[in-house]
């Protein structure tokens, strides 16, 4: 069971300044497929992703990726091991063009033409606005660009923080389709998502957070089919977000 | 993916806003025109304008590194003036060694001597920048108050080092033959050296813009100014990028020091801290972190200083500060505010 986890957090604590945000997170992300991280606002989902990426450093506990401890590695090192982050605020370089954003995202060399055309198929606006300033893109287009940057090079694991936040239903569907296709390419995805319909349609395993801890983890099928469990784990948050 | 989802929609920037964004570019010709009206005599105006642009270019060269360092890592470096002074002293020392070349009537030898002096100054100040960043700046990332104190301390140490190496007296040197004298156009006398300074400044500005817009390292610097965390998450070591920028900025300050020294023909250990007042004004006017804004700000300061020195010498000192106040009232973030994610 331990062996097939691509990423595992055990007893991870994260402090931000004087605040004790993560209070012992235990999380396993199996290789391949989509793991969804659920939880109400302020539960610590974003902090978990940022801690994995090394943007915050865990004060206690271990983060293992591919059987190596990465807890105290610097962010660029973690990136080079094959983890990409699509942050909650998308992290678009608005002063640069779409093309320049993509060029920088391909950190290990020139972009692979085949991969790029695949991405342009997944997200047509990337091609349409190739030479436009990224600052002029709409929110949904920025979100696509942010995911596109994360996958321009093959990655082992992609951390995606609420890719559907504030998007129209049609774009949510497009994003879901793209993630589903990404899943087919042997990329493991750790997805933070408040939209349970979306999350349950794409997720294989699920973890639910509250107050800086994981309070439930298991298969998505089990949770999606068990209304009482949903109610118990996140009753309030589901109502608030649907 | 459904067609409806991807309907191309892109916000057009309204024309009014576009003009507003471009506005600062016109400030320089506007100021030059105002100068012409106020001065009246076209040949005096031409002389003063070239002098002003030359001064502006030298300030730009010294300020450009400082502004990028601030933009990229939010580091306030009050020690930047040390590189100016050290650059000038190194340059003068090299020129003194090459006195045979600088006194020679051969233009080539003259220019070769200046070039070697500049390269030596840039090399030494670049390396000094390396040490300065590692020893003084690195321990105080993210702490502005400490940065101010510690970099000021670094400046004082550097000045004392100059006393130790070169002694307490000011140094004099005359410009090489080829850079002395003036071209006379009509009634206007234009010093050759000022034209050279304008040319070097322009070339540097164009090169810097090219690097920032067209090369990967330039894109990284611009991306890092906006969102350093994301640059790191993409796999780049921003500290290393910053070190390169810091060393380049220090070397440019050294270049500015040599050029300023040749302009004044006299240098002192505290020349750096004196000129830093103008440099900081320019960086603030331009919008902290913006190279374009820094360039325009430097031209404005250079022109205004020369015009007012001619028209009303008594207010020359406060004119640049007045300029800063006026510009900040118009645009509180400077001419070209830099986008920051946080
Ligand atoms: N930079 C920070 N400084 C102080 N506290 C922070 C900071 N970032 C997050 N927190 C706190 O940490 C807790 C967890 O925040 P986090 O952003 O991880 O939650 P989240 O689960 O992603 O919430 P949301 O669904 O709203 O995005 C919150 O209480 C938040 O206020
Ligand atoms: Mg969040």
Strands B182-185 and B188-191: antiparallel
Q: Which two tokens stand for residue B224?
A: 């890092």
Q: Is the pLDDT of residue A3 over 70?
A: no
Residue ranges of domains in chain A: 5-82+155-241, 94-154
- Terminal C-alpha separation, chain A: 34
Ligand 1 center–CA A15 separation, angstroms? 11
Q: Are B303 and B220 in contact (CB under 8 A)?
A: no
Mean pLDDT of A43-49: 96
What is the phi-psi region of residue B130: left when phi exceeds 0, alpha when psi lies from -120 to 50, beta otherwise? alpha
> Distance of CA B185 to CAs B92, B129, B321, Å?
31, 42, 33
What pLDDT is attached to residue A238?
A: 45
Number of residues that this document lists for chain B: 342
A46 Cβ closer than 6 Å to some ligand 1 atom: yes
A237 Cβ closer than 6 Å to some ligand 1 atom: no
DSSP string, B15-42: HHHHHHHHHHHHHHHHHHHHHHHHH--H
On whether any CB of chain A is under 8 Å from the CB of B223, the answer is yes
pLDDT tens for B158-191 read 999 999 999 989 999 888 888 888 888 888 888 9
C-alpha to C-alpha distance for B214 and B210, rounded to whole angstroms: 6
Q: Which atom of ligand 1 is nearest to the CA of A47?
A: 18
On whether any CB of chain A is under 8 Å from the CB of B90, the answer is no
pLDDT tens for B211-241 read 999 999 999 999 998 999 999 999 999 999 9
Residue B14 binned pLDDT confidence (cut-offs 50, 70, 90): low
Q: Which two tokens stand for residue A55?
A: 């943007």
C-alpha to C-alpha distance for A232 and A215, rounded to whole angstroms: 11
CB-based burial, B281-311: b 16+ in 10 Å, e otherwise: bbbbbbbbbbbbbbbbbbbbbbbbbbbbbbe
C-alpha to C-alpha distance for A153 and A70, rounded to whole angstroms: 21
Q: Return the percentage of chain B with pLDDT > 70, whole number.
A: 95
- Asked if this assembly's ipTM is beyond 0.95, the reply is no
Mutate to test the pocket of ligand 1, among A12, A16, A57, A165 (most ligand atoms within 8 A of CB): A16
Q: Which atom of ligand 1 is nearest to the CA of A21?
A: 12
Ligand 1 center–CA A44 separation, angstroms? 6
Q: Which atom of ligand 1 is nearest to the CA of A45?
A: 21
Residue ranges of domains in chain B: 42-330
CB contact under 8 A, B8 and A79: no
Output the residue whose Cα is nearest ligand 1's atom 16.
A44
Mean pLDDT of B285-301: 93
Q: Which two tokens stand for residue B291?
A: 């190279």
A47 Cβ closer than 6 Å to some ligand 1 atom: yes
Residue B13 binned pLDDT confidence (cut-offs 50, 70, 90): low
Ligand number nearest to the C-alpha of A42 = 1
Please, which residues have CB less than 5 A from ligand 2, an ion? Answer: A 46, 88
A50 Cβ closer than 6 Å to some ligand 1 atom: no
C-alpha to C-alpha distance for B338 and B315, rounded to whole angstroms: 32
Alpha helices in B183-314, H assignment, sequence order: 192-214, 216-226, 228-233, 238-264, 271-286, 291-311
A39 Cβ closer than 6 Å to some ligand 1 atom: yes
Mean pLDDT, rounded, of chain B: 90
The arrangement of secondary structure in A5-82+155-241, i.e. its CATH architecture, is 3-Layer(aba) Sandwich (3.40)
The arrangement of secondary structure in B42-330, i.e. its CATH architecture, is Orthogonal Bundle (1.10)
Residue B273 binned pLDDT confidence (cut-offs 50, 70, 90): confident
- Terminal C-alpha separation, chain B: 33
C-alpha to C-alpha distance for A233 and A160, rounded to whole angstroms: 22
Q: Are B224 and B72 in contact (CB under 8 A)?
A: yes
Using CA coordinates, name the residue in chain B closest to A149: B234
């Amino acid at each position: 069971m331990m062996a097939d986890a691509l990423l595992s957090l055990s007893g991870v604590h994260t402090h931000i300044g004087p605040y004790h945000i993560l209070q012992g997170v235990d999380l396993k992300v199996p290789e391949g497929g989509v793991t969804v991280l659920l939880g109400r606002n302020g539960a610590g989902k974003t902090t978990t992703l940022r801690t994995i990426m090394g943007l915050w450093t865990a004060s206690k506990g271990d983060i293992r990726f591919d059987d190596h401890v990465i807890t105290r590695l610097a962010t660029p090192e973690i990136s080079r091991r094959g983890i990409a982050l699509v942050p909650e605020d998308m992290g678009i370089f608005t002063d640069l063009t779409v093309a320049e954003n993509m060029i920088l995202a391909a950190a290990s060399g020139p972009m692979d033409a085949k991969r790029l055309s695949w991405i342009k198929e997944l997200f047509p606006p990337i091609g349409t606005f190739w030479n436009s300033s990224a600052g002029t893109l709409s929110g949904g287009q920025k979100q696509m660009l942010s995911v596109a940057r994360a996958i321009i090079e093959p990655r082992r694991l992609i951390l995606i923080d609420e890719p559907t936040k504030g998007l129209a239903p049609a774009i949510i569907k497009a994003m879901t389709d793209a993630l589903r296709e990404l899943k087919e390419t042997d990329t493991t995805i750790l997805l933070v998502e408040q939209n349970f319909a979306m999350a349950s349609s794409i997720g294989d395993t699920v973890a639910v957070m509250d107050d800086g801890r994981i309070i439930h983890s298991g298969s998505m099928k089990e949770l999606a089919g068990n209304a009482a469990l949903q109610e118990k784990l996140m009753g309030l948050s589901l109502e608030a977000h649907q | 993916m459904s067609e409806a989802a991807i309907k191309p929609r892109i916000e057009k920037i309204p024309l009014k806003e576009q003009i507003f964004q471009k506005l600062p570019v016109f400030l320089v010709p506007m100021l030059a025109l105002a100068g012409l009206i106020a001065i009246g005599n076209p040949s005096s105006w031409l002389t003063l304008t070239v002098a002003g642009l030359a001064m502006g270019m030298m300030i730009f060269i010294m300020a450009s590194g400082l502004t990028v360092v601030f933009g990229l890592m939010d580091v306030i470096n009050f020690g930047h003036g040390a590189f100016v002074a050290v650059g000038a002293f190194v340059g003068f020392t090299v020129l003194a060694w090459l006195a045979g070349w600088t006194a020679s009537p051969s233009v080539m030898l003259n220019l070769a001597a200046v070039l070697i002096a500049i390269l030596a100054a840039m090399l030494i100040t670049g390396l000094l920048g390396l040490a300065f960043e590692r020893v003084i700046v690195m321990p105080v990332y993210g702490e502005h108050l400490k940065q101010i104190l510690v970099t000021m301390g670094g400046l004082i140490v550097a000045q004392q080092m100059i006393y130790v190496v070169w002694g307490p007296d000011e140094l004099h040197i005359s410009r090489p033959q080829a850079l002395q004298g003036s071209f006379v156009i009509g009634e206007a006398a234009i010093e050759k050296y000022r034209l050279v300074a304008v040319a070097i400044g322009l070339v540097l500005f164009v090169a810097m813009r090219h690097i920032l817009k067209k090369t990967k390292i330039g894109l990284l610097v611009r991306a890092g100014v906006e969102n350093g965390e994301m640059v790191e998450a993409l796999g780049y070591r921003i500290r290393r990028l910053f070190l390169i920028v810091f060393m380049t900025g220090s070397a440019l300050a050294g270049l500015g020091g040599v050029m300023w020294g040749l302009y004044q023909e006299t240098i002192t250990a505290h020349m750096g801290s004196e000129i830093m007042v103008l440099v900081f004004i320019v960086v603030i006017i331009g919008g902290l972190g913006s190279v374009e804004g820094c360039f325009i700000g430097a031209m404005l300061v250079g022109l205004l200083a020369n015009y007012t020195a001619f028209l009303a010498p008594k207010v020359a000192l406060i004119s640049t500060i007045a300029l800063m106040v006026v510009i900040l009232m118009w645009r509180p973030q400077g001419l070209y505010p830099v986008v920051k994610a946080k």
